[in-house]
């Protein structure tokens, strides 16, 4: 499938850009953030909510789906879009990320990754490049990811060097094993925190025929400056005319920073997990909605926010619900944070169009950072906390 | 406040009727079912959902609200309607029901009920008729309930006889202690399963100036025939020109039966609790949506249901979400069951208008009962499982 990739606007002083490309479910415009719908549902939001917010894409986890429900089951139901009643773009993770999850990972072989089924510890199976392409093909996602050799950032350089080569081999095999001609396939650049390995991986990946390029193995606990150095190094050497996806990042300031380096899309459980723990995002920084002072605050979470929660309820009510552990608190908080991500992307786009991205980046870091944001730790690791 | 109570239609062969009356938040039309919003929120539904479904009234618990947030707090926020962003009718329970909850109840005195704060077991306080009217007045509900001497159906006849007199005394005091002229006040008929006591209570209550009459102490574990006998006895002797409210009942067949005896409104956690336990209501009976067979069912929960869940998702998807314990399963299941209650009330109204209530009652019992409905046990007792 041809993505008909186009760069719509570029900022002069930074790498920030607006791009447009096609998937089997319409045209997406970057930069965008993808909420995580591991098991075909974003936590606490329906597909109607997601559409209403204006989210362009979500990401499901093909390994988790294969183990819990089965990709053939999803195909029989008419595919993931029909089952979820979501006509936006859906990405699927290949499962490579689960290599750093003890409950899943057994060992790596040249043929693929041996995973355990966390629900049935006796059952092991080999996830080969062919296997992951079949699973993603049957699920019917719009964008599939290659099987990558995913290592923790703490692993040795030797291990990362091997992973770069292994990911290249598997990536090559994935290109050939694609069963769904309408599905896009993204490569994944690995190499840990080692810039020379990242460069090598980028070159190897660029030599294959992918529809987009992802950076993997980041936002998993490495220091933020290291993550940024890797992103700026890689974005400088990979070709511009393709979607660039930074996997697992969802902390607002770092998203804005890496958009400035030329990243187009992101996924993370960061905003939904923060919402669950009462941390709500505003353009002026994070707030803990369960804090005592909000119980007397008759204003919305964010004065100029147009989200369902802010249009209908006060901080006092959301605080009361959160303190009372009323189930709808989860929905109201999550809705706001996901809406915030969309709004932030809109602000970024406007800054790019008006050629003032650098200024926007600085101002946002200042206003959002005011309330001392903690670096996103183990962001992607928190994904898929439970399988069932 | 004048309710401008009107009987709009009556069925010839049964006691079923359509009535219309005013509260401070508009006109309601009976029969209606009230979802329980103990702490100012229906479990898993927002106030927008409730409005969208067409629910006419909800019921909050004034005792729980006073203990957790405080009625003066709610008054400061502009009242319960403003805080919840709900402009429908809101009832409040006085707290009498909490007398059969061990975590709340300490003892009964002629002045009132000594309750413990379940959050702070050391703190006891006396709920007098004046106190419950002040609390409900500050909360700003449209319909307040008197403080009643609520006994378990297993208590002795002597205890129930005392309760009838005590409830009369407290009811009298509540009428005088009303602080909000726009609030309606309903009496509560007690007397357990003893028809003579129920008759006596009804007569005593009718001698006071109430805006509506409730039957208390039912649907708390007594046999269904006993409950029905009490309802049919009482509805025959109390005056027709007033709203009649059966507290705590929410099982569909018994609702339809007691509407046939002249009951106008109901409240219960029955549909929301069933939803949480995967039991969904359809006109053809209950289904357990987590059952294996539904995972392959591409039809909605109910073919001709217009609820959000049925319009957007299949049984297969809801089953998948329920089995996977995805949080939005709770929302989708609850939405369907509450919509069912509204739909059932609409069907009942139509049958009354067309003077075929008896036939409707039989047909519904046959179709809904097909899948062997269990009697509603401890229905009201399950209310307010946690206070916080």
Pair (B309, B339) in one structural domain: yes
Pair (B30, B135) in one structural domain: yes
| pLDDT tens digits, one per residue of B371-380 | 554 445 543 4
- Hey, is the C-beta of B52 within 8 angstroms of any chain A C-beta? no
Q: Looking at the 3D structure of chain A, how many domains does it have?
A: 2
* The pLDDT value given to residue A182: 95
Cis peptide before B31 (omega within 30 of 0): yes
Containing structural domain, residue A170: 6-268
The C-alpha atoms of residue B177 and residue B197 are separated, in whole angstroms, by 26
For A69, the closest of B40, B320, B328 (CB atoms) is B320
Q: Please identify every residue of B annotated as catalytic.
A: 93, 267
A93 given a catalytic annotation: yes
Has residue B385 got a pLDDT over 70?
Answer: no
For residues A220 and A100, the answer to whether their CB atoms sit within 8 Å is yes
Pair (A253, A295) in one structural domain: no
Q: Where are the beta strands (DSSP E) in chain A?
A: 6-10, 17-23, 26-29, 32-34, 57-61, 89-93, 105-109, 112-117, 120-127, 143-145, 184-189, 212-215, 244-246, 265-267, 279-282, 285-288
Q: Is residue B263 part of a domain?
A: yes
Pair (A258, A312) in one structural domain: no
Pair (B96, B238) in one structural domain: yes
Pair (B26, B169) in one structural domain: yes
For A40, the closest of B77, B320, B331 (CB atoms) is B320
Contacts with B, A 305-344, CB within 8 Å: 308, 312-314, 316-317, 320-321, 323-328, 330-332
* Residue in chain A nearest B313 by alpha carbon: A85
Strand (E) or helix (H) holding B162: helix B157-177
pTM: 0.94
Q: Is residue A203 part of a domain?
A: yes
For residues B318 and B309, the answer to whether their CB atoms sit within 8 Å is yes
Q: A227-233 contacts: CB < 8 A, separation 24 or more?
A: A227/A254, A228/A254, A228/A257, A228/A258, A228/A261, A229/A195, A230/A191, A230/A193, A230/A195, A230/A198, A231/A258, A231/A261, A231/A263, A232/A261, A233/A195, A233/A198, A233/A199
Phi, psi of B354 (to 5 degrees): -90, 10
* The pLDDT value given to residue B370: 64
| pLDDT tens digits, one per residue of A133-159 | 999 999 999 999 999 998 888 999 999
The parts of chain A modelled with pLDDT lower than 50 are 373-375, 378-388
The C-alpha atoms of residue B311 and residue B301 are separated, in whole angstroms, by 9
For B83, the closest of A46, A69, A317 (CB atoms) is A317
Local structure of A78: helix, strand or coil: coil
Non-local (6+) Cβ contacts of A236 within 8 A are none
Average pLDDT over residues B267-279: 97
Select from B60, B331, B336 the residue whose CB has the most chain A CBs within 10 Å, as the one to mutate to test that interface.
B331
**Residue contact B84–A317, C-beta within 8 A:** yes
Q: Is residue B382 part of a domain?
A: no
* The pLDDT value given to residue B388: 27
Distance of residue B293 Cα from the nearest chain A Cα, in angstroms: 13
Pair (B241, B313) in one structural domain: no
The C-alpha atoms of residue B7 and residue B3 are separated, in whole angstroms, by 12
Pair (B323, B195) in one structural domain: no
Q: Is residue A363 part of a domain?
A: yes
In Å, how far are B96, B110, B158, B194, B220 from B154, measured between CA atoms? 17, 22, 12, 11, 10
Non-local (6+) Cβ contacts of B267 within 8 A are B33, B34, B35, B36, B59, B91, B245, B247, B248, B250
Q: Is residue B286 part of a domain?
A: yes
| pLDDT tens digits, one per residue of B218-234 | 998 999 999 999 999 99
Pair (A240, A353) in one structural domain: no
Pair (A242, A306) in one structural domain: no
Non-local (6+) Cβ contacts of B291 within 8 A are B319
Has residue B184 got a pLDDT over 60?
Answer: yes
Has residue B1 got a pLDDT over 80?
Answer: no
Distance of residue A84 Cα from the nearest chain B Cα, in angstroms: 7
State CA B193 to chain mean position distance.
Answer: 19
Q: B366-369 contacts: CB < 8 A, separation 24 or more?
A: B367/B283, B367/B284, B367/B285, B368/B252, B368/B253, B368/B281, B368/B283, B368/B284, B368/B285, B368/B286, B369/B253, B369/B285
**Residue contact B320–A39, C-beta within 8 A:** yes
For A325, the closest of B42, B78, B388 (CB atoms) is B388
Local structure of A169: helix, strand or coil: helix
For residues B331 and A331, the answer to whether their CB atoms sit within 8 Å is yes
* The pLDDT value given to residue B383: 38
For A324, the closest of B44, B68, B85 (CB atoms) is B68
| pLDDT tens digits, one per residue of B60-112 | 999 999 999 999 999 999 999 999 999 999 999 998 777 777 788 888 899 98
**What tokens does A264 get?**
């187009």
In Å, how far are B106, B135, B257, B347, B382 from B61, measured between CA atoms? 18, 10, 26, 29, 13
The C-alpha atoms of residue B267 and residue B250 are separated, in whole angstroms, by 6
Q: Is residue A375 part of a domain?
A: no
The CATH number of whichever domain residue A61 belongs to comes to 3.20.20.105
Pair (B209, B74) in one structural domain: yes
Q: Starting at the earlier edge strand, list the strands of the sheet with A120-127.
A: A105-109, A112-117, A120-127
Residue B320: list chain A partners with CB under 8 A: 39-40, 69, 83
Burial of B385 (0-12, 13-18, 19+ CB in 10 A): exposed
**Residue contact B40–A320, C-beta within 8 A:** yes
* Residue in chain B nearest A77 by alpha carbon: B298
Mean pLDDT, rounded, of chain B: 93
**Residue contact B46–A73, C-beta within 8 A:** no
**What tokens does B325 get?**
């314990």
| pLDDT tens digits, one per residue of B106-123 | 888 999 888 888 777 778
Cβ-Cβ contacts under 8 Å between A and B: the total is 103
Select from B51, B308, B310, B320 the residue whose CB has the most chain A CBs within 10 Å, as the one to mutate to test that interface.
B320
């Amino acid at each position: 499938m041809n993505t008909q990739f186009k760069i719509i606007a570029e900022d002069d002083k930074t790498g920030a850009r607006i791009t447009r490309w096609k998937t089997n479910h319409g045209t997406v415009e970057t930069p965008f953030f993808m909420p995580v719908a591991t098991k075909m549902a974003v936590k606490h939001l329906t597909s109607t909510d997601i559409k209403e917010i204006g989210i362009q894409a979500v990401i499901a986890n093909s390994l988790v789906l294969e183990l819990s429900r089965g990709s053939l089951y999803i195909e029989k139901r008419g595919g993931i879009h029909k089952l979820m009643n979501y006509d936006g773009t859906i990405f699927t993770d290949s499962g490579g990320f689960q290599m750093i999850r003890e409950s899943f990972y057994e060992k790596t072989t040249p043929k693929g990754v041996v995973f355990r089924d966390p629900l049935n510890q006796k059952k092991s199976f080999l996830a080969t490049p062919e296997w992951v392409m079949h699973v993603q093909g049957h699920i019917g996602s719009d964008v599939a990811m290659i099987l990558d050799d995913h290592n923790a950032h703490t692993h040795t350089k030797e291990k990362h060097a091997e992973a770069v080569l292994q990911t290249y081999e598997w990536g090559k095999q994935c290109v050939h094993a694609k069963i769904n001609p309408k599905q896009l396939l993204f490569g994944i650049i690995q190499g840990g925190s080692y810039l020379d390995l990242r460069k090598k991986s980028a070159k190897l990946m660029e030599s294959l025929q992918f529809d987009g390029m992802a950076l993997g193995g980041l936002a998993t606990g490495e220091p933020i400056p290291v993550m940024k150095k890797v992103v700026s190094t890689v974005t400088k050497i990979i070709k511009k005319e393709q979607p660039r996806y930074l996997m697992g990042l969802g902390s607002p300031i770092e998203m804005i920073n890496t958009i400035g380096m030329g990243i187009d899309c992101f996924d993370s459980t960061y905003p939904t997990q923060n919402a669950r723990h009462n941390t709500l995002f505003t353009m002026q920084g994070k707030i803990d909605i369960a804090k005592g002072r909000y119980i007397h605050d008759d204003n919305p979470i964010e004065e100029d926010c147009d989200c369902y929660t802010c249009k209908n309820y006060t901080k006092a009510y959301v605080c009361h619900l959160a303190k009372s552990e009323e189930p709808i608190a989860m929905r109201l908080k999550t809705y706001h944070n996901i809406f915030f991500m969309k709004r932030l992307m809109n602000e970024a786009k406007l800054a790019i169009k008006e050629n003032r991205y650098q200024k926007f980046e600085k101002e946002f870091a200042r206003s959002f950072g005011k309330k001392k944001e903690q670096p996103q730790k183990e962001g992607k690791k928190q994904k898929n906390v439970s399988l069932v």
